[in-house]
Amino acid sequence: MVTKTNQLRVKRLLGHVEHAGFLDPLTRHPLMGPMLSIPSFNIGPVPVTPGLVLAPMSGVTDSAFRMMVKRASGKSVGLLVSEFISIELLTSRHMQAAIRMAFDPRERPVCIQIYGADVEKMAEAARMVEDAGADAVEINCGCPAPKIVRRGGGAGLLRNLPLLANILNATVNAVSIPVTIKIRNGWCEDSINALETLKVAEENGAQAIGVHGRTRVKLYRGEADWDIIKQMKSVATIPVLGSGDVVVPEDAKNRFETTGCDGILIGRGAIKNPWIFRQVEDLMQGRPVFEPTWADKVDLLRYYRENLDKMYPERVAPGRMKMMLSRLLKDLPEAPTLRIECLRLETPDAMIEHLTKTLDNLGLLGELTEVRAA
Protein backbone atom coordinates (compact mmCIF):
# COMPACT_ATOMS: atom_id res chain seq x y z
CA MET A 1 0.00 0.00 0.00
CA VAL A 2 1.30 3.44 -0.91
CA THR A 3 0.79 5.75 2.06
CA LYS A 4 1.29 9.49 2.34
CA THR A 5 4.40 8.82 4.41
CA ASN A 6 5.86 6.61 1.69
CA GLN A 7 4.99 9.21 -0.93
CA LEU A 8 6.82 11.85 1.05
CA ARG A 9 9.87 9.64 1.42
CA VAL A 10 9.97 9.02 -2.31
CA LYS A 11 9.72 12.75 -2.98
CA ARG A 12 12.52 13.29 -0.53
CA LEU A 13 14.75 10.89 -2.42
CA LEU A 14 13.93 12.69 -5.66
CA GLY A 15 14.76 16.02 -4.06
CA HIS A 16 11.25 17.42 -4.34
CA VAL A 17 10.02 17.44 -0.74
CA GLU A 18 8.10 20.60 0.05
CA HIS A 19 8.21 22.24 3.44
CA ALA A 20 4.43 22.36 3.69
CA GLY A 21 1.37 20.26 2.83
CA PHE A 22 0.34 17.05 4.64
CA LEU A 23 1.53 18.70 7.86
CA ASP A 24 -0.03 20.54 10.77
CA PRO A 25 -0.02 24.21 9.64
CA LEU A 26 0.97 25.28 13.16
CA THR A 27 4.20 23.26 13.17
CA ARG A 28 5.22 22.92 9.55
CA HIS A 29 8.51 21.24 8.93
CA PRO A 30 9.84 18.50 6.63
CA LEU A 31 9.41 14.98 7.88
CA MET A 32 12.98 14.10 7.03
CA GLY A 33 16.20 16.08 6.89
CA PRO A 34 19.98 15.77 7.01
CA MET A 35 21.40 14.16 10.12
CA LEU A 36 23.02 16.71 12.43
CA SER A 37 24.51 16.30 15.87
CA ILE A 38 22.88 18.10 18.80
CA PRO A 39 25.58 19.49 21.08
CA SER A 40 25.92 18.26 24.62
CA PHE A 41 27.76 20.03 27.41
CA ASN A 42 28.54 19.85 31.11
CA ILE A 43 27.57 22.24 33.87
CA GLY A 44 30.46 21.39 36.14
CA PRO A 45 29.99 17.67 36.83
CA VAL A 46 26.39 17.66 35.51
CA PRO A 47 26.04 16.37 31.92
CA VAL A 48 23.35 18.02 29.78
CA THR A 49 22.61 15.59 26.96
CA PRO A 50 21.33 16.78 24.56
CA GLY A 51 21.81 20.54 24.89
CA LEU A 52 18.09 21.29 24.89
CA VAL A 53 16.88 22.99 28.07
CA LEU A 54 13.44 23.88 29.35
CA ALA A 55 13.72 27.61 30.09
CA PRO A 56 12.50 28.98 33.43
CA MET A 57 9.14 30.73 33.18
CA SER A 58 7.43 32.42 36.10
CA GLY A 59 4.08 30.85 36.89
CA VAL A 60 4.66 28.04 34.40
CA THR A 61 7.65 25.77 34.99
CA ASP A 62 6.61 24.20 38.27
CA SER A 63 7.18 20.50 38.87
CA ALA A 64 3.82 19.50 37.32
CA PHE A 65 4.70 21.28 34.08
CA ARG A 66 8.27 19.97 34.04
CA MET A 67 7.00 16.42 34.54
CA MET A 68 4.61 16.92 31.63
CA VAL A 69 7.48 18.08 29.38
CA LYS A 70 9.57 15.13 30.52
CA ARG A 71 6.77 12.72 29.69
CA ALA A 72 6.24 14.28 26.26
CA SER A 73 9.87 14.68 25.20
CA GLY A 74 11.64 12.11 27.37
CA LYS A 75 15.42 12.08 27.09
CA SER A 76 15.30 14.70 24.35
CA VAL A 77 15.17 17.41 27.03
CA GLY A 78 18.59 17.60 28.64
CA LEU A 79 17.84 19.87 31.59
CA LEU A 80 14.76 21.26 33.35
CA VAL A 81 14.84 24.65 35.09
CA SER A 82 12.35 25.78 37.71
CA GLU A 83 10.42 29.03 37.77
CA PHE A 84 12.36 31.63 39.72
CA ILE A 85 12.17 31.76 43.52
CA SER A 86 12.65 34.83 45.69
CA ILE A 87 15.64 34.49 48.02
CA GLU A 88 13.66 36.45 50.62
CA LEU A 89 10.80 33.94 50.52
CA LEU A 90 13.17 30.99 50.45
CA THR A 91 15.35 32.08 53.35
CA SER A 92 12.27 32.93 55.42
CA ARG A 93 11.01 29.35 54.86
CA HIS A 94 7.85 30.50 53.11
CA MET A 95 5.58 27.67 51.91
CA GLN A 96 5.27 29.17 48.42
CA ALA A 97 9.03 28.98 47.98
CA ALA A 98 9.10 25.37 49.19
CA ILE A 99 6.44 24.39 46.64
CA ARG A 100 8.33 26.11 43.82
CA MET A 101 11.54 24.34 44.81
CA ALA A 102 9.93 20.89 44.93
CA PHE A 103 10.85 18.41 42.20
CA ASP A 104 10.42 14.75 41.35
CA PRO A 105 13.60 12.63 41.05
CA ARG A 106 12.47 11.68 37.53
CA GLU A 107 13.07 15.28 36.47
CA ARG A 108 16.83 15.01 36.85
CA PRO A 109 18.96 16.80 35.95
CA VAL A 110 17.06 19.74 37.39
CA CYS A 111 18.21 23.29 38.11
CA ILE A 112 16.51 25.62 40.61
CA GLN A 113 16.56 29.32 39.73
CA ILE A 114 16.65 31.99 42.44
CA TYR A 115 16.58 35.78 42.31
CA GLY A 116 17.41 38.74 44.50
CA ALA A 117 20.17 41.25 45.16
CA ASP A 118 21.35 40.46 48.70
CA VAL A 119 24.74 38.73 48.75
CA GLU A 120 24.32 36.83 52.02
CA LYS A 121 20.75 35.76 51.34
CA MET A 122 21.67 34.57 47.85
CA ALA A 123 24.35 32.33 49.32
CA GLU A 124 21.97 31.06 52.01
CA ALA A 125 19.24 30.37 49.44
CA ALA A 126 21.72 28.47 47.27
CA ARG A 127 22.61 26.28 50.23
CA MET A 128 18.93 25.50 50.68
CA VAL A 129 18.67 24.56 47.01
CA GLU A 130 21.62 22.24 47.44
CA ASP A 131 20.11 20.73 50.59
CA ALA A 132 16.92 20.06 48.61
CA GLY A 133 18.97 17.87 46.26
CA ALA A 134 18.95 19.97 43.09
CA ASP A 135 21.67 19.31 40.52
CA ALA A 136 22.46 23.01 39.98
CA VAL A 137 21.39 26.47 41.10
CA GLU A 138 20.88 29.41 38.77
CA ILE A 139 20.94 33.14 39.53
CA ASN A 140 18.35 35.12 37.60
CA CYS A 141 19.93 38.20 36.03
CA GLY A 142 17.38 38.64 33.27
CA CYS A 143 13.85 39.08 34.62
CA PRO A 144 12.54 42.45 33.35
CA ALA A 145 9.61 42.78 35.77
CA PRO A 146 9.59 46.26 37.40
CA LYS A 147 8.93 44.90 40.89
CA ILE A 148 12.05 42.73 40.57
CA VAL A 149 14.46 45.22 39.01
CA ARG A 150 13.41 48.06 41.34
CA ARG A 151 15.01 46.08 44.17
CA GLY A 152 18.15 45.39 42.15
CA GLY A 153 17.35 41.79 41.23
CA GLY A 154 16.78 40.13 37.87
CA ALA A 155 17.94 42.31 34.97
CA GLY A 156 18.76 45.01 37.52
CA LEU A 157 22.02 43.15 38.21
CA LEU A 158 23.14 43.94 34.66
CA ARG A 159 23.47 47.57 35.75
CA ASN A 160 25.60 46.61 38.75
CA LEU A 161 28.22 44.08 37.66
CA PRO A 162 30.36 44.56 40.81
CA LEU A 163 27.36 43.46 42.89
CA LEU A 164 26.80 40.51 40.55
CA ALA A 165 30.47 39.56 40.98
CA ASN A 166 30.07 39.60 44.78
CA ILE A 167 26.85 37.57 44.61
CA LEU A 168 28.43 34.99 42.33
CA ASN A 169 31.58 34.71 44.40
CA ALA A 170 29.64 34.23 47.64
CA THR A 171 27.21 31.76 46.09
CA VAL A 172 29.84 29.64 44.38
CA ASN A 173 31.79 29.40 47.64
CA ALA A 174 28.66 28.51 49.61
CA VAL A 175 27.71 25.35 47.69
CA SER A 176 29.28 22.33 46.06
CA ILE A 177 26.73 22.10 43.23
CA PRO A 178 27.42 24.16 40.09
CA VAL A 179 26.14 27.73 39.83
CA THR A 180 24.88 29.22 36.56
CA ILE A 181 23.41 32.57 35.55
CA LYS A 182 20.70 33.66 33.11
CA ILE A 183 21.05 37.14 31.61
CA ARG A 184 19.81 39.46 28.88
CA ASN A 185 21.93 41.28 26.29
CA GLY A 186 21.99 44.31 28.54
CA TRP A 187 19.74 46.90 30.10
CA CYS A 188 19.04 48.85 26.89
CA GLU A 189 20.43 49.24 23.37
CA ASP A 190 22.95 51.80 24.63
CA SER A 191 24.29 49.47 27.31
CA ILE A 192 24.72 46.06 25.68
CA ASN A 193 27.12 44.42 28.13
CA ALA A 194 26.64 40.69 27.63
CA LEU A 195 30.36 40.17 26.92
CA GLU A 196 31.33 42.03 30.08
CA THR A 197 28.79 40.02 32.07
CA LEU A 198 30.24 36.82 30.61
CA LYS A 199 33.67 37.85 31.89
CA VAL A 200 32.26 38.50 35.37
CA ALA A 201 30.58 35.09 35.30
CA GLU A 202 33.76 33.28 34.27
CA GLU A 203 35.98 35.10 36.78
CA ASN A 204 33.63 34.35 39.68
CA GLY A 205 32.97 30.66 39.16
CA ALA A 206 29.79 30.39 37.12
CA GLN A 207 29.66 27.08 35.26
CA ALA A 208 27.35 28.17 32.41
CA ILE A 209 25.54 31.24 31.15
CA GLY A 210 22.14 31.49 29.47
CA VAL A 211 21.46 34.53 27.31
CA HIS A 212 18.07 35.90 26.28
CA GLY A 213 18.68 37.89 23.12
CA ARG A 214 16.78 41.02 24.17
CA THR A 215 17.52 43.92 26.47
CA ARG A 216 15.53 44.57 29.62
CA VAL A 217 13.94 47.66 28.06
CA LYS A 218 12.88 45.64 25.01
CA LEU A 219 11.02 43.17 27.23
CA TYR A 220 9.62 40.57 24.79
CA ARG A 221 9.07 42.88 21.82
CA GLY A 222 10.69 42.50 18.42
CA GLU A 223 13.12 39.74 17.48
CA ALA A 224 15.74 38.23 19.75
CA ASP A 225 19.33 39.11 18.83
CA TRP A 226 21.35 35.92 18.46
CA ASP A 227 24.44 37.65 17.05
CA ILE A 228 25.56 38.56 20.57
CA ILE A 229 25.15 34.91 21.56
CA LYS A 230 27.41 33.92 18.67
CA GLN A 231 29.98 36.51 19.80
CA MET A 232 29.87 35.24 23.37
CA LYS A 233 30.32 31.64 22.27
CA SER A 234 33.41 32.58 20.25
CA VAL A 235 35.25 33.80 23.37
CA ALA A 236 33.61 31.90 26.24
CA THR A 237 35.35 29.35 28.44
CA ILE A 238 32.03 28.12 29.88
CA PRO A 239 28.94 26.79 28.05
CA VAL A 240 26.79 29.48 26.40
CA LEU A 241 23.06 28.79 26.05
CA GLY A 242 20.90 30.89 23.73
CA SER A 243 17.31 31.90 24.37
CA GLY A 244 14.59 33.78 22.51
CA ASP A 245 12.07 33.04 19.76
CA VAL A 246 12.62 29.28 19.57
CA VAL A 247 9.01 28.23 19.00
CA VAL A 248 9.24 25.49 16.34
CA PRO A 249 11.89 22.79 15.76
CA GLU A 250 13.45 24.59 12.80
CA ASP A 251 14.24 27.56 15.03
CA ALA A 252 16.45 25.42 17.27
CA LYS A 253 18.18 23.77 14.31
CA ASN A 254 18.92 27.16 12.75
CA ARG A 255 20.30 28.61 16.00
CA PHE A 256 22.65 25.69 16.55
CA GLU A 257 23.92 25.99 12.99
CA THR A 258 24.36 29.77 12.92
CA THR A 259 25.71 30.49 16.41
CA GLY A 260 27.55 27.35 17.50
CA CYS A 261 25.99 27.74 20.95
CA ASP A 262 26.32 24.87 23.41
CA GLY A 263 22.64 24.68 24.25
CA ILE A 264 19.27 26.22 23.56
CA LEU A 265 16.66 27.27 26.09
CA ILE A 266 13.07 26.74 24.97
CA GLY A 267 10.27 28.48 26.85
CA ARG A 268 7.10 29.64 25.08
CA GLY A 269 7.49 26.93 22.44
CA ALA A 270 7.24 24.27 25.15
CA ILE A 271 4.05 25.69 26.68
CA LYS A 272 2.07 25.15 23.51
CA ASN A 273 4.01 22.09 22.43
CA PRO A 274 5.70 20.02 25.18
CA TRP A 275 6.90 17.63 22.44
CA ILE A 276 9.14 20.29 20.88
CA PHE A 277 12.38 18.90 22.38
CA ARG A 278 11.61 15.49 20.93
CA GLN A 279 10.76 17.09 17.59
CA VAL A 280 14.04 19.05 17.50
CA GLU A 281 16.00 15.86 18.04
CA ASP A 282 13.95 14.04 15.39
CA LEU A 283 14.52 16.84 12.90
CA MET A 284 18.25 17.08 13.51
CA GLN A 285 18.74 13.32 13.46
CA GLY A 286 16.89 12.94 10.16
CA ARG A 287 14.00 10.96 11.62
CA PRO A 288 10.31 11.50 10.87
CA VAL A 289 9.25 14.30 13.19
CA PHE A 290 6.83 13.15 15.87
CA GLU A 291 3.38 14.71 15.58
CA PRO A 292 1.12 14.14 18.60
CA THR A 293 -2.49 13.23 18.02
CA TRP A 294 -5.26 14.83 20.02
CA ALA A 295 -5.44 11.57 21.96
CA ASP A 296 -1.80 12.15 22.94
CA LYS A 297 -2.61 15.70 24.01
CA VAL A 298 -5.57 14.63 26.12
CA ASP A 299 -3.49 11.87 27.71
CA LEU A 300 -0.78 14.42 28.58
CA LEU A 301 -3.37 16.77 30.10
CA ARG A 302 -4.60 13.95 32.31
CA TYR A 303 -1.02 13.31 33.41
CA TYR A 304 -0.58 17.03 34.11
CA ARG A 305 -3.77 17.04 36.15
CA GLU A 306 -2.50 14.11 38.26
CA ASN A 307 0.69 15.99 39.07
CA LEU A 308 -1.21 19.16 39.91
CA ASP A 309 -3.10 17.17 42.54
CA LYS A 310 0.19 16.08 44.10
CA MET A 311 1.51 19.64 44.33
CA TYR A 312 -1.34 22.02 45.10
CA PRO A 313 -4.57 22.40 47.06
CA GLU A 314 -7.69 21.61 45.04
CA ARG A 315 -8.47 25.30 44.45
CA VAL A 316 -5.22 25.86 42.52
CA ALA A 317 -5.65 23.14 39.88
CA PRO A 318 -8.45 24.78 37.78
CA GLY A 319 -6.39 27.91 37.10
CA ARG A 320 -3.33 25.95 36.03
CA MET A 321 -5.39 23.66 33.81
CA LYS A 322 -7.10 26.63 32.16
CA MET A 323 -3.69 28.08 31.34
CA MET A 324 -2.65 24.89 29.57
CA LEU A 325 -5.95 24.45 27.74
CA SER A 326 -6.00 28.07 26.65
CA ARG A 327 -2.71 27.68 24.78
CA LEU A 328 -3.45 24.21 23.46
CA LEU A 329 -6.82 25.12 21.97
CA LYS A 330 -6.06 28.61 20.74
CA ASP A 331 -5.68 27.59 17.09
CA LEU A 332 -8.19 24.79 16.62
CA PRO A 333 -10.17 25.87 13.52
CA GLU A 334 -12.50 22.88 13.62
CA ALA A 335 -13.93 23.96 16.98
CA PRO A 336 -13.40 27.70 17.50
CA THR A 337 -15.65 27.85 20.56
CA LEU A 338 -14.18 24.81 22.32
CA ARG A 339 -11.53 26.87 24.12
CA ILE A 340 -14.13 29.21 25.61
CA GLU A 341 -16.40 26.31 26.55
CA CYS A 342 -13.59 24.53 28.42
CA LEU A 343 -12.45 27.68 30.22
CA ARG A 344 -15.97 28.26 31.55
CA LEU A 345 -15.99 24.91 33.35
CA GLU A 346 -15.05 24.77 37.02
CA THR A 347 -12.96 21.63 37.44
CA PRO A 348 -10.06 20.11 35.51
CA ASP A 349 -11.95 16.83 35.17
CA ALA A 350 -14.92 18.60 33.60
CA MET A 351 -12.62 20.45 31.21
CA ILE A 352 -10.88 17.28 30.07
CA GLU A 353 -14.18 15.38 29.75
CA HIS A 354 -15.71 18.12 27.59
CA LEU A 355 -12.57 18.37 25.47
CA THR A 356 -12.45 14.62 24.91
CA LYS A 357 -16.15 14.33 24.04
CA THR A 358 -16.04 17.26 21.60
CA LEU A 359 -12.92 16.02 19.82
CA ASP A 360 -14.37 12.53 19.58
CA ASN A 361 -17.63 13.86 18.11
CA LEU A 362 -15.63 15.83 15.54
CA GLY A 363 -13.59 12.75 14.63
CA LEU A 364 -10.37 14.49 15.68
CA LEU A 365 -9.33 12.40 18.66
CA GLY A 366 -7.25 9.87 16.74
CA GLU A 367 -5.18 7.05 18.18
CA LEU A 368 -2.99 7.29 21.25
CA THR A 369 0.68 7.17 20.26
CA GLU A 370 3.16 5.59 22.61
CA VAL A 371 4.44 8.48 24.73
CA ARG A 372 7.72 8.54 26.60
CA ALA A 373 7.19 8.06 30.30
CA ALA A 374 8.69 10.64 32.62
Q: Which residues make beta-bridge pairs with 39? A: none
For residue 261, indicate whether it is catalytic.
no
154's CB contacts (< 8 A; 6+ apart) are 115, 140, 141, 142, 143, 144, 145, 148
Alpha carbon distances (Å) from 253 to 17, 171, 259, 277, 282: 18, 34, 10, 11, 11
Alpha carbon distances (Å) from 328 to 282, 298, 311, 352: 22, 10, 22, 12
Active site residue: 111, 141, 143, 342, which one?
A: 143
Give pairs for 301-304: CB < 8 Å, separation 24+.
301/325, 301/328, 301/352, 301/355, 302/352, 303/67, 303/68, 303/71, 303/374, 304/64, 304/65, 304/67, 304/68
168's CB contacts (< 8 A; 6+ apart) are 139, 179, 181, 200, 201, 204, 205, 206
187's CB contacts (< 8 A; 6+ apart) are 155, 158, 159, 193, 215, 216, 217
d(CA 240, CA 261): 6
Longest dimension (CA), the chain: 68
| Cβ contact 232:198 at 8 Å | yes
Catalytic residue numbers read: 143
